[in-house]
Structure 1
Amino acid sequence: MFYTAKMSLRLRLSASFVLIFVCHSSLAAEPLWQDQPLRDYIAWLTSQDIAIIYSSDLVRPEYKVTTEPVNPNSVAALREALQPYRLSLAQGPGDSLLIVRQQTASGHIDLTVMEAGTTFGIADVRVFVGGKLLGVTDGNGKLAISDQEPGTLELLVAASGYIDIAPNIIELTTGQTLPVRIDLQPLQQALPEIVVTSSLYSLRYDPAGSHTFLDRDLTTKLPDVGDDAVRSIDRLPGVANGGVSTRSHVRGGVNNEQLFLFDGLRLYEPYHLKDFHALSTIVDQNAIADINFYSAGYQVPYGDRMSGVVDISLREPTSETVTELGLSFFSASVLSMGRFGNSDRGDWLVTGRRGNLDLIVDVVNSDYGAPRYEDTVLHVGWELSDRSYISANALLSYDKISVAELDDSEQASAKYRNRIFWFKVDTAWNQNLSSSTILSATVIDNDRVGAVDVPDMSFGNVTDNRNFNSATLKQDWQWSASGKWLFGSGFDIKRLEAEYEYDSTLNILPPFDQILDNQPLLVRSIRTAPRGAQYAVYLSGRWRPFADLILDAGIRWDQQTYTTASDDSQTSPRFNVLYNWGERTELRLGFGMFYQAQEINELQVADGVTTFFAAQRAQHAVASLSHKLTSGIDVRVELYKKRYRQLMPRYENVFDPLVLIPELQIDRVRIDAEAAVSKGVEFMVTGENNAESLLWWLSYTWAVIEDSTEEGTVKRSWDQSHTVKAGINWDWNKWSFSAAGSVHTGWPKTELMVETISNPDGSSELVAATTPRNALRHSVFHSIDARASRRFDVSRGELTVFLEITNLYNRQNPCCTKYRLQTDSGGNQSLTANQGNWLPIIPSLGVSWRF
C-alpha cells in the first residue's frame, strides 16, 4: 500500500500541424483528464486536499480515465472514473478514502503471456473466451480481465509469430482475482533464432524486440539528412558515403551492389531523385519496423547482389488506432494504422510523405529549380486463422524535378513514377513448418531531359525515356526438423520488360577533346526493348552438432534469359560457422560466392552501351570475433576479403561526381577492370548504461579497395584507408540528445592541367592533360551531426519537437573540382579550378504529433 501525498499540476499542450507550433495560453488551465492515466488523476485530486489511499495492484499503470469528468474536483467524479475497472470507494483511516474492488458475483483474471523459457512478455496478444475477444496484452504481455463469469473457462490466445501448444483451462470462482500465466512457443525453435551470418548489423525499430546495435527509438533520434531511416546504415563500419546520397558503398563495392528489400519484396530503383544523387529512399521511415543490414557473407535466400543487403520490415499496426503527423524542413508526413474486423483480425497502415525541398529552394534561391517528391505506403492485412495471414500492399512514389546550376552551365528536369503492388501470404503449417509467398507487380517510368553549356569547353543535350515492368512470384519455406536441424528452400520467378528511348549530343571543344579518350562530337540515338525472365532456386541447411557449434551451408542457382552474355546462369555455394567460445565470446566464419547480374533496367544506354554483360562475381571470406566484457561493453573485430571477377565496365566522372548530367561532361571515363580486391579490418566497441539511458559506439576501419586494369592497380574513387566513426545518445527525462560523427582519409582524385605551347609557325595553342586517375587524394574528411528533441504531453497524444544540425561546425570537406576556361582582355586563356564540397552546415527544425 502507498499514499500519494502531492503531485504538481500537469501542463497540457494543444498543437496544430504547422511549420512552427504554438502553445495556447490555456496551459495552466484546469486539466483535461480523458485518456490520461488514472493514477495521475488520483494524484491531482490528492493535491486538491482529498486524501486517497490505494494499492498499486488495484490501480494498474495502464488504467486511464475513460470519460471526461463533469466536475473533476469531486468524489463523485472519482467514483465514475473507477467504475470501468470494477473499483469503488470505501471509508479509510481518518477522513481518507480507500479504493477497493467492487463486490461482485464475477471474478477477475490478471493474465500474463510470456515467451516459453524466458522472462519476455509478448505484446499485442489477442485473448478470447467463448469466441469473444476480451482484450489485447500490453507491452509487458499483461492484460487485466474484469467482470468475468465464474466457472471453468478456456482461454484462447493468438499472437503473430507464436503458437499455443497446450489448452489453457482455468477455474474462476466468485470474487476471485486469479493470476494466470500462459507460455507461448515461437513458431521457429531456438536454432533458427541464432544469427550465424557474420557481418550482420541489426537496426531494430521495434522496442519490444531484441537488438544488437540500434533500436527504433535511437534510430529515430539520430541526426540524418532528409528524415530517412536508411541513412542510419552510414553510421556502421565498412560503409562509405559522402553524405549527399542514400546510395552507399559497402566494403569497397559500387553503390548499386546492395539488395534492397521491403516486406520481403525486392525494390528496383528505390530512390527519389534517382538520377540526381538519390537524396532519399521511397520508403517513408514511418512505415519501417526494422532494418537488417548485411555487409558480407549473407545466406542463400539473398541473391543477385554482391556487396550487401538492406532488408526492411513493414511496421506492424498496433491494437489501437494510431495517427502520426510530422513536419520538418525536409518533409511533411502522415501515418495512420490500426485494426478492424471481428476479433481485430484485420489491420491497416497508410503513410504519406511529401518532400519540402522545392519549398526550401524557392525561399533560398528559386534559380536552383524545384525538386519535389512524394511517396505513399498502403497496407491491409487479415488473419485467415491463427496460422495464416494475408496482406495486400502498395508502394507509390512520384518525383517532379527541375534543377540548374547558378551559372546556367547545366539544366535538367525529370519525372519519375514508381508503382509497386504485392500480395503476401504467411502460413505456419505447424509448429515446425512455415512458408511465405509474394506475388508482385512493379511499373517504373523515368523521363529526363537536360542541357550542358560550359563556355569554351563543352555543350550538349539529352533526352532520356525509360520504362520498366516486372511480375514476380516468390516463395520461401522453412522447416525445423529438430532442435539440431533447420532447412530452408525457395524460388523466385520474374517476368521482366524494359523500353529505352535515348538521344544525346555532346560537343567537346579543344583542348579537352584530347583527354580521357574524349571525342570532339559524340551523337547517340538508342531504341531498344529487351524482354526476358529471371529464375532463382536455393536450398539451405543448418546443423548444430554440439551445443556450442552451428554450421550453415547453402547453394543458390540463378539464371537470366534476356542477356546476350555467354554465361547467363550462376551457381553460388555459401558456408557459415558459429562457435560459442564460452558464455561471452562468439566466433563467426563465412565464405561464399556472390553473383550480380545486370538487371534489365540497368542497360548503360547513357554511355552508348546496348548489350548486357555477364553476371559479375565476388568471393567473400569473413572472420568475426565478438566478446562481451563483464562491464557490459561489447567488443567486435572482423576481418574480410572480397575478390571480384568478371566485372562489367563502369563509368565515372573523375573531376566532379556531383554534376547534374554525368554523361555530358568532359571528365566521363570508362573503367574496364579485369578484377578487384577489397580487404579490411573493422573494430567496434559499443556500450550501454540503462540506468542513465546512455548508449555509445566507436569504430575504426582499415580498408583498401583496388581495381586491376590495363593501367595497373588503381584505387577506387571511394577508397578510404582509415575511418573512425562514433556516436552517442542520451535520454534525460523527456529530452533526448544524440550526436554522430566520422573522420576518414580523403577520397582519391584526378586533376586536370592545361598549358599553352608555342608552335613552330609562331602560333600558340592549349594542351590539356590529367594526372594518373585517382593518384592524388582530397584532404581528410571529418564531420559531426547533432540532434536534440523534447517530448510534450498534450491533451491528445504526444508532441515531439526536434532541432537537427548536419555538419555542426560547417567543415568544408572537398569532394570535387569544377574547371572553367577563362579568357583575359588580351585573349589569353587560363584554367581555373573551383573546389566543390560535400554537405555544408544544414539545420532542420521539425515537429511530430502522435495521437
Structure 2
Amino acid sequence: MWALSVFFAVSAGAQGQAMSLPELIRLLQQQGHLILYSTGLVSSSWQVSVDTVDLDALEQALHLHQLELRKQEGVWVITRAEPAATGLPPPAAMRAEPTVETVIVTGSIHHLPAVGPASTVYTYSAEEMAAVPTLASDALRVALRLPGISSVGVSAKPRIRGGLEDELLVIQDGVELMEPFHLADYHSAYSAIDYHTIESLDVYTGGFPARYGNRMSGVMDIRNLWRDDDYDTDIGVSSFADFINTRGEFGVQHPASWLLSYRQGDLAKLTDYIETKSGEPRYKDSTARMNIALTEKFDVSFGGAYSQDDIDFKGETERASSHIDTWYLWAGADWQPSEALRNRMTLSWLEFERKKEQRSFDTEPKGGFMDYRQKIQRLALRNDWNLLHGGTLLEFGWQAEYNAGDYSNTSVIDRGELAAILGNQQLIARDISPRPDGFSGGAYFQAEWQLNSRLTMQPSVRWDFQDYYLQRDTEYQVSPRLGLAYDINDSTLGRLSVGRFYQPEGIQELQAVDGLTQFYPPQHSDQVIAGIEWQRGRFKFLGDGYYKRYGAQKERFENIFNPFVLLPEMEPDRVGLYPSKALVKGFDLDGSVSFNEPLSGHLRYSYMDARDRIDGQWLDRRWSQRHTVNADMIWQRDTVTLSLAVTWHSGWHTTVLPEFVPMGTVIPVQSVLNNTGLRDYLSIDIGARKSWELGSARVQVYADISNLTGRHNQAGIDFDIQDVPGGYEITPDQETLLGRVISLGVILSF
C-alpha cells in the first residue's frame, strides 16, 4: 500500500495539461459552456494534451477523431464530422449518432457531467474494464472496486452502500435483466454477459435518475458494442470461458449492423468456498443483435439472448443441483422527429425457469430433501422521450408489463437440534404452489435547467404500480427526487441529491423457496447524498457523504453462521429476519491520477455503517464493512498492459454461540445476531495483457491472478453440536473463502 501512496505523491509534482477528452469537456462545462455528447462517440480512453482549456482546443481534439462541434439552440453538440460527398449514404457504423439520445444528466449514453446534479455514477469502457485485474477475468467485476461496495470476492453482484444484493437494477440496451449472473443459486459468482460484447458500463451508486425504477440502491446500465476496431470476429479460450463473437455491416440504402456471440465454460474453480469434492458447474450464454437504419431519422433494432446454468454438486453427505434457463427477445424503434426530440419504444419478452434440488444424508434424524421449481414470464413495453429545448433538458416516459409466475416447493427437512436452540423451526414439511400473475408499470418525468451561471436544478418524479400481489389490492408508489449542482469554481463542483426510492418485490422475488406464499408491500428508502468533485489536470477527486433511511422492510432469510454452503435452505442457521426499519450512513472518497502514458491509478476509501432495527435493537448487517480501501495501478504502453489492485476492508460480521448451552435453552436470534467481526479481508490481484498484430489478425494473451498471496479470508463460522451431560457442547469451525485463483486466456481476432 505504501508504494501506491508514494506513486500518488510523486505524481503530484508532474506538470502539463494532459487529460482524457471527457475531462477536457468537463472543464469547458465548468467555464459555462453547455456541451452535450455521446459515449458512443467520445471514448473515455482518448487522451489529449492542451496548453489552454478553450473551445478551440476541443475542436482540434475532436478533429483528430473525425468529430466536430455544432451549436444547436444554445447548446454545443458533439457529432460526427460530415463525410466527403460520395453519392452513397454512409455505412451504419459511420452514420451520425442522433443529436439527442437518452438525455439524462449523468446517464449511460449522453453525459453533461459538469451540470449533472443528481447521480453518483462511474462509467467504464470495455478497454477500461479489461485493464483491471478481476476474479476469473470477469470484467463486470470491476464494479466491486468502486467506493461504497461491500464484497468478499465471491459474488459478482455488488452490494451498494449497505443495501441488499436485490437492491441492484441491471439494464442492457434498455431491457431490464433478471438474474444476469451464472451460479445464481450460489452467490452469483460470474456475470452472464460476455464483456467482449460491451461498449460501456455505467454504475450508479446513488441518486440515480427517475428513468430507473423499482430498486433502492444502484443501477448497472450496459450498452452493447456494435463495432470497436477493425476486426470482425473474436475467438477466445480461457480457464473459465471459451467464446466466439462476430459482427459486421451490410446494406447501402438501409445500412445495418449485427452482432452474434456464444460463450461456455466450467466454473468449478470458483466454487471451492462451498467445499464439495466433486461438481460440474457448467454454463453457456449467447446473444444476437441487429440494427437497421430505415431512414435518417428512424432506426429499428432487435435481438435475443439465452443463458443456461447446468450445475450439479455431490458431497459425501450432501447433493445439490441448480438448472436455470433464461430467454430474452426484444425489439426497439428509435425515432428522431427533430434535432431536439427523440423517442424510443422497446418491446421485450422474458422467460425464466429454475429447477433446484437439495438432498442431505446426514446423521439421523437430521437431513431431508427440497425440490423447488420457478417459472417466470414477462412481457414489457417501454416508451422513452427526450427533449432538448434551449438550455432545458426534459425526459419522460412510461412502461407497462404483464407478469406471470409459477412456483412449487416440496420439501421435508429436519434441521437438527441446533435449529431448536435458535428458536428456529426444526421439522419442516412443505408442499406449496403459488401462481401470481398481473400487471405492473409506471411513468416518470425529469427536468433540468440552469437557474444561473453556477446553479443547476433537476427535479423528477416516478409513479409505479403492481397488481400481481396475491390476495391484496393494487399497490401504488410516488417517488419524488431533487438534484442540485453548484459550480464552486473552475475546478470544483458541489452536488446534492435527495429523494425517495421504492422497491416492490418483483414477480420473480416471491420467497417460496423459504416457504412464503405472499408478497410483502413495497419497501422504500429516503436518501440524502452530498458530494464534491474536484479536477485539475491529471488529478481528480470525488467525495460523497450519504444517509439512507429504510422503511416498510420485508422479511428476508439468511444463514447467520456461514452463508457460503451447499444447502443453504436446509441449514439450522437459516433464519427469517424482519427489520422494522434500517439505517445506512457513510462517506466515499475517490482519488485518481492519469497520464498520456503509461501510468494511471486510483486510491479509494469508504466508511460505512449499515444497521437493521430488529425487535427494538439496532444490529449490524452482516456486510457492514466499516472501513474499506481499494487501490490500483495500471501501466499501459502500446500492446502491453500490466495492473495491480489491492482490496482491504474490515471483516464482515457473523454470529457466534456460547460454548455450552443448557438443555431446553432457547437463544433468541436477535441476542446473538452478527455479534462477532471476522478477520479483516485482504486480496492482492495482478493482471497482464499483451497483443501482437499478425498480418490481418491479432493475437492477445492475458492472465489474472486473484488473491495472489493465497490468504485465507474468512467466510463465517460453522458449529458442531454434541450432547453432553446437562446440555449441548458447541464447537466453532472456521470456514474460509476462495484461495488463489488463476485465469489464463488467449484471443484471436480477425
Cα distance per residue 1:25-45 (max 9 Å; x no partner)? xxxxxxxxxxxxxxxxxxxxx
Deviation, 1:539, is: 1.2
Deviation, 1:124, is: 9.7
Q: Identity over aligned residues, as a percent?
A: 27
Q: Which residue, 392, 396, 409 being the options, matches 1:489?
A: 396
Measured at CA, do residues 801 and 111 of structure 1 come closer, stay the same or move farther in structure 2, by a change above 3 Å?
closer
The answer for unaligned runs of 5 or more in structure 2 is 1-63
Q: Distance in 2 between matches of 1:627 and 1:706?
A: 31
Q: Which residue of 2 aligns with 1:648?
A: 554
Deviation, 1:457, is: 7.5
Between 837-846 and 449-458, report the one with greater CA deviation.
449-458
Aligned ranges for residues 540-559 of structure 1 at < 5 Å? 540-559=446-465
Q: Which residue of 1 aligns with 2:529?
A: 622
Q: Which residue of 1 aligns with 2:567?
A: 661
CA RMSD of aligned residues (A): 3.0
Deviation, 1:488, is: 1.3
Q: In the alignment, is the contact (CA less than 8 A) between 1:805 and 1:842 conserved in 2?
A: yes
Measured at CA, do residues 132 and 532 of structure 1 come closer, stay the same or move farther in structure 2, by a change above 3 Å?
closer
Measured at CA, do residues 657 and 780 of structure 1 come closer, stay the same or move farther in structure 2, by a change above 3 Å?
same
Q: Which residue of 2 aligns with 1:731?
A: 636
Deviation, 1:311, is: 0.6
Q: In the alignment, is the contact (CA less than 8 A) between 2:467 and 2:473 conserved in 1?
A: no
Deviation, 1:197, is: 4.2
Measured at CA, do residues 829 and 597 of structure 1 come closer, stay the same or move farther in structure 2, by a change above 3 Å?
closer
Answering whether residue 163 of structure 2 is matched by residue 253 of structure 1, we say: yes
Measured at CA, do residues 694 and 504 of structure 1 come closer, stay the same or move farther in structure 2, by a change above 3 Å?
same
Q: Which residue of 2 aligns with 1:275?
A: 185
SS in 2 for 1:256: helix
Q: Which residue of 2 aligns with 1:682?
A: 588
Measured at CA, do residues 312 and 126 of structure 1 come closer, stay the same or move farther in structure 2, by a change above 3 Å?
farther
Q: Which residue of 2 aligns with 1:315?
A: 225
Aligned ranges for residues 694-713 of structure 1 at < 5 Å? 694-713=599-618
Q: Which residue of 1 aligns with 2:732?
A: 833
Q: In the alignment, is the contact (CA less than 8 A) between 1:699 and 1:724 conserved in 2?
A: yes
Answering whether residue 697 of structure 2 is matched by residue 797 of structure 1, we say: yes
Deviation, 1:518, is: 1.8
Q: Which residue, 490, 501, 519 being the options, matches 2:408?
A: 501
Measured at CA, do residues 373 and 121 of structure 1 come closer, stay the same or move farther in structure 2, by a change above 3 Å?
same
Q: Distance in 2 between matches of 1:451 and 1:254?
A: 28
Q: Distance in 2 between matches of 1:694 and 1:568?
A: 52
Q: Which residue of 2 aligns with 1:526?
A: 432
Cα distance per residue 1:762-801 (max 9 Å; x no partner)? xxx6968576111110011111111011111223321111
Answering whether residue 88 of structure 2 is matched by residue 131 of structure 1, we say: yes
Q: Which residue, 344, 347, 364 being the options, matches 1:439?
A: 347
Between 571-580 and 795-804, report the one with greater CA deviation.
795-804
Deviation, 1:201, is: 2.8
Measured at CA, do residues 188 and 703 of structure 1 come closer, stay the same or move farther in structure 2, by a change above 3 Å?
closer
Measured at CA, do residues 190 and 372 of structure 1 come closer, stay the same or move farther in structure 2, by a change above 3 Å?
closer
Q: Which has the higher relative contact order, 1 or 2, with Cα contacts under 8 A spaced 6 or more apart? A: 2
Measured at CA, do residues 487 and 359 of structure 1 come closer, stay the same or move farther in structure 2, by a change above 3 Å?
closer
Q: Which residue, 360, 363, 370 being the options, matches 1:455?
A: 363
Q: In the alignment, is the contact (CA less than 8 A) between 2:276 and 2:313 conserved in 1?
A: no
Measured at CA, do residues 130 and 373 of structure 1 come closer, stay the same or move farther in structure 2, by a change above 3 Å?
same
Deviation, 1:834, is: 2.4
Q: Which residue of 2 aligns with 1:159?
A: 96
Q: Distance in 2 between matches of 1:346 and 1:531?
A: 38
Q: In the alignment, is the contact (CA less than 8 A) between 1:792 and 1:799 conserved in 2?
A: yes
Q: Distance in 2 between matches of 1:837 and 1:131?
A: 63
- Corresponding letter in the other structure for 1:437: M
SS in 1 for 2:127: helix
Q: In the alignment, is the contact (CA less than 8 A) between 2:93 and 2:249 conserved in 1?
A: no
Q: In the alignment, is the contact (CA less than 8 A) between 2:421 and 2:665 conserved in 1?
A: no
Q: In the alignment, is the contact (CA less than 8 A) between 2:105 and 2:118 conserved in 1?
A: no
Q: Which residue of 2 aligns with 1:419?
A: 327
Q: In the alignment, is the contact (CA less than 8 A) between 2:103 and 2:395 conserved in 1?
A: no
Larger radius of gyration: 1
Q: Which residue, 649, 654, 661 being the options, matches 1:749?
A: 654
Q: Which residue, 129, 134, 140 being the options, matches 1:224?
A: 134
Between 338-347 and 614-623, report the one with greater CA deviation.
338-347
Answering whether residue 452 of structure 2 is matched by residue 515 of structure 1, we say: no
Deviation, 1:218, is: 2.5
Q: Distance in 2 between matches of 1:657 and 1:356?
A: 22
SS in 2 for 1:647: coil
SS in 1 for 2:165: coil
Q: TM-score, normalised by structure 2?
A: 0.85
Measured at CA, do residues 589 and 599 of structure 1 come closer, stay the same or move farther in structure 2, by a change above 3 Å?
same
Q: Which residue of 1 aligns with 2:48?
A: none
Measured at CA, do residues 585 and 359 of structure 1 come closer, stay the same or move farther in structure 2, by a change above 3 Å?
closer
Q: Distance in 1 between matches of 2:92 and 2:138?
A: 35
Q: Which residue of 1 aligns with 2:120?
A: 200
Q: Which residue of 2 aligns with 1:601?
A: 508
Measured at CA, do residues 409 and 768 of structure 1 come closer, stay the same or move farther in structure 2, by a change above 3 Å?
farther
Deviation, 1:317, is: 3.0
Q: Which residue of 2 aligns with 1:849?
A: 748
Q: Distance in 1 between matches of 2:229 and 2:128?
A: 23
Deviation, 1:187, is: 9.8
Q: In the alignment, is the contact (CA less than 8 A) between 1:197 and 1:299 conserved in 2?
A: no
Q: Which residue of 1 aligns with 2:34?
A: none
Q: Which residue, 783, 786, 790 being the options, matches 2:683?
A: 783
SS in 1 for 2:203: strand
Q: Distance in 2 between matches of 1:604 and 1:135?
A: 46
- Corresponding letter in the other structure for 1:194: L
- Corresponding letter in the other structure for 2:446: S
Q: In the alignment, is the contact (CA less than 8 A) between 2:270 and 2:738 conserved in 1?
A: no
Measured at CA, do residues 588 and 344 of structure 1 come closer, stay the same or move farther in structure 2, by a change above 3 Å?
same
Measured at CA, do residues 614 and 801 of structure 1 come closer, stay the same or move farther in structure 2, by a change above 3 Å?
same
Q: In the alignment, is the contact (CA less than 8 A) between 1:458 and 1:666 conserved in 2?
A: no
| Aligned residue pair count | 675
Deviation, 1:565, is: 4.6
Measured at CA, do residues 604 and 113 of structure 1 come closer, stay the same or move farther in structure 2, by a change above 3 Å?
closer
- Corresponding letter in the other structure for 2:533: S
Deviation, 1:818, is: 2.4
Deviation, 1:426, is: 1.3
Deviation, 1:803, is: 1.7
Deviation, 1:380, is: 1.1
SS in 1 for 2:554: coil
Q: In the alignment, is the contact (CA less than 8 A) between 2:137 and 2:704 conserved in 1?
A: no
Q: Distance in 1 between matches of 2:555 and 2:415?
A: 23
Answering whether residue 524 of structure 2 is matched by residue 611 of structure 1, we say: no
Cα distance per residue 1:72-100 (max 9 Å; x no partner)? xxxxxxxxxxxxxxxxxxxxxxxxxxxxx
Q: Which residue, 611, 619, 625 being the options, matches 1:720?
A: 625
- Corresponding letter in the other structure for 1:131: L
Measured at CA, do residues 197 and 337 of structure 1 come closer, stay the same or move farther in structure 2, by a change above 3 Å?
farther
Q: Which residue of 1 aligns with 2:239?
A: 329
Q: Which residue, 313, 317, 322 being the options, matches 1:403?
A: 313
Deviation, 1:755, is: 2.8
- Corresponding letter in the other structure for 1:811: R
SS in 1 for 2:135: coil
Q: Which residue of 1 aligns with 2:26?
A: none
SS in 2 for 1:660: coil
Q: Distance in 2 between matches of 1:752 and 1:255?
A: 26
Aligned ranges for residues 756-771 of structure 1 at < 5 Å? none
Q: In the alignment, is the contact (CA less than 8 A) between 2:647 and 2:683 conserved in 1?
A: yes
Q: TM-score, normalised by structure 1?
A: 0.75
Measured at CA, do residues 740 and 321 of structure 1 come closer, stay the same or move farther in structure 2, by a change above 3 Å?
closer
The answer for unaligned runs of 5 or more in structure 1 is 1-109, 138-157, 164-185, 206-215, 758-764
Answering whether residue 686 of structure 2 is matched by residue 806 of structure 1, we say: no
Q: Distance in 1 between matches of 2:446 and 2:92?
A: 40
Between 810-819 and 514-523, report the one with greater CA deviation.
514-523
Cα distance per residue 1:131-182 (max 9 Å; x no partner)? 3659986xxxxxxxxxxxxxxxxxxxx312349xxxxxxxxxxxxxxxxxxx
